[in-house]
Amino acid sequence: MLRARTPGGGAGNPVTHVERIPARPGTAVDWPEWVPAELRAVLAGQGVVAPWRHQAEAAGHAHAGRHVVVATGTASGKSLAYQLPALATLLTDPRATVLYLAPTKALAADQLRAVAALDLDGVRPACYDGDTPRGERDWIRAHSRFVLTNPDMLHHGILPGHARWSTFLRRLAFVVVDECHTYRGVFGSHVAHVLRRLRRQAARYPGTSGSVPGQRGGTGGPRPAPDGPVFVLASATSGDPAAAAERLTGLPVTAVTEDTAPRGGLTFALWEPPPLPPSSPSDVPDPADRAGAAAPGGGFDAAPVRRSALRETADLLSDTVAAGVRTLAFVRSRRGAEVIATTARRRLDEAVPGLGARVAAYRSGYLREERRSLEQALLGGELLGLASTSALELGVDLVGLDAVLICGYPGTRASLWQQAGRAGRSGGEALAVLVARDDPLDTYLVHHPQALFGRPVEATVLDPANPYVLGPQLACAAAESPLTPADLELFGAGAKEAVEALVAAGALRHRPTGWYWRHAGRPEVDLRGTGGTPVDVVESSTGRLLGTVDPASAHFQVHPGAVYLHQGVSYVVDALDLDDGCALVHAEEPDWSTHPRDVTSLSVASVRSYLDAGPVGMFLGEVDVTSQVVSYQRRRLASGEVLATLPLDLPARELRTVAVWFTVSPESLAAAGVDAAEVPGALHAAEHAAIGLLPLVATCDRWDIGGLSTANHPDTEAPTVFVYDGHPGGAGFAERAYRAASEWLTATRDAIAECGCETGCPSCVQSPKCGNGNNPLAKSEAVRVLDVVLSNLARLATAEPDAT
C-alpha cells in the first residue's frame, strides 16, 4: 500500500523507522454514586455503559470542588470527564450554569452536538460566538445553562458586557477549558489573563457559582463554592500539565494523566523523501513548497535537495485511497492542502477514471456547510481521502479512519500525537506516517526516532508576566470595572508596575477606590498577537477583498512587487499602503517567485540570567531588535535562478523581546580549528540550525522565533549567536531554550553533523527565513563551534551544578 520497503532508511528506502504501538485494553470502573440516574441512563443509551478509570477520577475531583486537568491521549474520552460533573450539577441544581471554552468554533460546535444529543431536560446548551445571530444572543444570555464559546468571544463580547451576563455568572459552577495545550506563547498568555478577568467578574456578583455537588458525608448534596467556579481543563498529553494549567488559570490544579481507555494498535512510520538529482527539472519546487518564501526572510537560493514533502504525501494519499484505505492527510498550509488533494485526484484519475472524486481538501476558509458536508462524506465512505490543515486536528469526532499522513512535523509532539490519534478511533488497527520536509528539525527527527517515541511531550510554554500582554489585559479589566489592589494580586507578578505604567501613559486614573479606565472606548487588544489591524488584500480592477495579512507579515508577504497566492490564483502586488492597511494587487501568472531580504540589528537591553562556562557564556535577557525589509529577489520558478534584486522602501520595525544567546571566545574557536575567516559562516550556520531545532524543546514554530549571529557583537565583545522570541515582550520560548540549552544545542549539533550534504542544505543549516540569502554558511565549522559550547557547558554542569 505504501510502496513498502525494508525499514531502516537505506539507499532508496524512504522509511527510516517503524514504531509499533501495541493495542491496549481499557479499565472501566463503576459510575460515581453522585451521577444522577437520568444521566447514566442517557449515556448508556449512547453506548457508554461505564466510565474509564481516568474519566471517573477527573470527574470526581471536579465534583468535589477541586480544579483539575485531564491530560490523556487522543480518543481517550476526555469529554466525559468534564461532562459528568457539569451535567450532574445542572440536573441536580436547576440554577447552576456552565461555561465551555474551545480554541476553535468547530470544536465548540462539535461539543454542542454531543451535549444536545443527550437531550437532558433543562440544560439548554447553546453556542455563543461570532456566528451566533443577534436575535439569538439575548435568549442565550437569559436561558441557556450550558454556554459554549471561545476565548475571543469571552474577551470581546461576554466580559465587556458582564452586567448583562450577571445572572449566568452568579450561578457559574464550572468553567471547562478544552484542548488547553493549544493556549501557548502570546495567545496563551493573553488567554491566561482573560480567565483571570472571568474569575474577577464572576466574583463581583453575590452568590457566585451557584452550587457545586460535594461528597461530604457521602450525601452527594450541593455545597457552595465560595472561591468561584471550578475549572476543568482537558489537554492532549503534555509535559507537566498541572503546572501549565496553574499558569493558565492562576489556580492550584490537580492533574489526571494515566490513560485507561482502550486503544487499537498503531503502526507509526517515519518517511524521508528521496534525494533529487541536482537541478532536476522534473520535480522543481511546487508553489506550495514556496509558501514560506513569502514569509519573513525569503527562501532558499537553490531547489530543495529532496523530493517535495507535498508531492510525496500526495503520492502516499493516492496509494492508500487506491487500496481502499480511509485516510486523512495533515498539511500545514491551506495551499498545501489544496495541492495535495489536486495532485492525488489527478494520479487516481489517471489510474482509474473517476476514482479521484473520492479525494477532497478540507481547510479553514470554507463555509461551515461545506465543511460539514465533507466530514459527513468522509464518515459515510463517499470520500476515502481528505487533505486537511490542522482544522481537523481538533474538534471533529472522526471515527473509522484507517490511516493518517502527516506532511511535515507539526511543530510539537503534542500536535503530532493529536493528529496521529485521528486514525483508529473506532478501536481497530491504524497507520500513521510522518513525511519529513527538507528542513533541520524534520531531518533530525526521522533519523532520531527516540526524540519522538518513548518520551513525554513538551510542556506548554506561556508567560502571563509578559508586560506587552499584562498591560493591555489590565486595561481591559479596568474598562470592565475599576481595578483594586486585590485585583493586582489576581493578575500576578508585574501587575503593580504595569498599572503604574498605564497611569503614567494616561490610560488609567488612580482614585482612592481603585484605578479607572479614562477613555470612552474599550482598549483594542488582539489575543492572537498579530500586531494590530490586518492588512486587506484588494484586487485593483474590481475592488474585491481577496483576504487579509497580519501586520507583522505584511512587509514580507505583500510588499510592492510580491507574488501573492490566493486559492490557487497568483497575484502581483501593485502597492502597499501601511497607513490605510491595504495592499492592491492584480492577477498575473509570472514565471518567477519573490523572496524578500531584510537586515536586522540587535542590542542587549538587560540580562536576566547567565552561565559563566569559561570561554563560553550562556545568557537570557531582554533585547531590542530592529529589522527592515530592504529588497526582494525574483527567482525563476523552474530553476531558482536569481533574475533580479529590486530595492524596497519600507519602514524599519522595532521589537523589545526576550532572547537566549551564547558567546564563544575567539581563542577557543581558534583552538578548535575554526579559522577567523570562517567564524561568521560557522556562527550563521549554527544560528539557523538552532532556530530549526528549538521546537524540539519548546512548544513553538520556527516562524515564532528569529535569530542573529555576528563574529563580534558590540554588546558582548565576542562571537555571539542570538535566538529571540518574535513577539513583543517575549513568548516564553527563549526562556525554555535557556533552561534546556544542553539538550537543544546537542540536537542542533547532531542535526548538522549527521546530514549527508557537503557544505550545507535545507536539511541542516539553510533557512527559509534567512534575509542574507543563506550566505555565508560554514557547515563543518558550525559543528566545531557547538562542540566548544557543549563541552564547556558540560564541564560547568559537572563542576557547579547550581551555577547561574
> CA–CA separation, 291 vs 566, rounded Å?
11
Angle at 483 between CA 481 and CA 488, to 5 degrees: 140
DSSP result, 693-715: HGGGTSS--GGGEEEEEESS-TT
What does the pLDDT read at residue 451?
Answer: 87
Amino acid letter at 210? G
- From 338, 283, 366, select the one nearest 568 (Cα to Cα): 338
Angle at 790 between CA 788 and CA 793, to 5 degrees: 110
Instruction: Give 421's DSSP letter.
Output: T
> CA–CA separation, 611 vs 149, rounded Å?
45
The enclosing H or E element of 600 equals strand 592-613
What does the pLDDT read at residue 221?
Answer: 40
Query: For the chain, what's the residue count?
Result: 804
CA torsion sign for 476, 479, 480, 485 is positive
Q: Which residue has the cell 465533507?
A: 374
Which grid coordinates belong to 76? Answer: 481517550
Beta strands in 465-580 (DSSP E): 508-511, 514-517, 535-539, 545-549, 563-566, 569-577
- From 202, 179, 183, 199, select the one nearest 191 (Cα to Cα): 183
What does the pLDDT read at residue 564?
Answer: 84
* DSSP-based three-state secondary structure for 69: strand
DSSP result, 434-483: EEPPSSHHHHHHHH-GGGTSSSPPPBPP--TT-HHHHHHHHHHHHHHS-B
Q: Are 510 and 518 a contacting pair, CB within 8 Å?
A: no
> CA–CA separation, 309 vs 327, rounded Å?
17
Q: Are 424 and 401 a contacting pair, CB within 8 Å?
A: yes
Long-range contacts of 680-683 (CB under 8 A, 24+ apart): 680/709, 680/710, 680/711, 680/776, 680/778, 681/776, 681/777, 681/778, 681/781, 681/782, 682/778, 682/781, 682/782, 682/784, 682/785, 683/709, 683/710, 683/711, 683/719, 683/720, 683/721, 683/782, 683/785
pTM: 0.80
First to last CA, the chain: 54
Q: Are 602 and 724 a contacting pair, CB within 8 Å?
A: yes
> CA–CA separation, 137 vs 144, rounded Å?
10
Give the strands of the sheet with 359-362, arranged side by side.
15-21, 266-271, 430-435, 403-407, 327-331, 385-388, 359-362
What does the pLDDT read at residue 363?
Answer: 67
Beta strands in 393-442 (DSSP E): 403-407, 430-435
- From 389, 447, 454, 382, select the one nearest 415 (Cα to Cα): 389
Longest dimension (CA), the chain: 80
Q: Is 568 left (phi over 0), alpha (psi -120 to 50) or beta?
A: left
Q: Which residue has the cell 469526532?
A: 397
Pairing state between β 535-539 and 582-587: parallel
CA gyration radius for the chain?
27
Instruction: State how far Cα 698 lies from the chain centre.
Output: 11
- From 732, 713, 716, select the one nearest 724 (Cα to Cα): 732
Helix 679-693 vs helix 779-799: crossing angle, to nearest 10? 70
Task: Provide the 10 A C-beta neighbour count for residue 238.
Answer: 26
> CA–CA separation, 562 vs 559, rounded Å?
5
Distances (CA, A) of 621 to 492, 514, 618, 725, 792: 20, 33, 10, 11, 21
> In which residue ranges of the chain is pLDDT below 70?
1-12, 206-227, 277-305, 363-368, 391-400, 425-427, 529-532, 566-568, 638-640, 771, 799-804
**Residue 37 contacts by C-beta under 8 Å, 6 or more apart in sequence?**
none
Q: Which residue has the cell 519573490?
A: 594
Pairing state between β 403-407 and 430-435: parallel
